[in-house]
Amino acid sequence: MAVYRSRHTLTGALTPERVAALDLPRTRLGRRGYQPDFVHELLHRLAHELHEQGRQLDLVQAENHRIKKALRTWQTRQAGRFGC
């Protein structure tokens, strides 16, 4: 997986909490910039999606662990059954 890098990179992992807590700098008076309400709405959406992806990853890892354990149990039973 590639690592995103820029001059203004945040250090550490981007967690839902960190994304939600980001406070982006405002533009100086008279300069163009993003509308803060839209930026905050996007950050909250990103935080929600990161949280959801993390939750889904946890579920997949738990299921993977369960399947591996069941496979080991089955293999042990089969080895005992055939005297290997």
Asked whether residue 8 is assigned to any structural domain, the reply reads no
Tell me the pLDDT tens digit for each residue of 14-30: 788 888 887 777 777 77
Q: Which residue has the higher pLDDT, 2 or 41?
A: 41
Q: Is 68 part of a structural domain of the chain?
A: yes
Indicate the pLDDT class of residue 9, thresholds 50, 70 and 90.
low
DSSP 3-40: PP--TTPPSS---HHHHHH--PPPPPTTS----HHHHH
* DSSP state at residue 83: T
Reported as a single tens digit per residue, the pLDDT across 48-70 is 888 999 999 999 999 999 999 99
Contact 17, 52 (CB under 8 A): no
Task: Tell me if 10 is assigned to some domain.
Answer: no
Number of domains in the chain: 1
Could you list the residue range(s) of the whole structural domain that residue 77 is in?
34-84
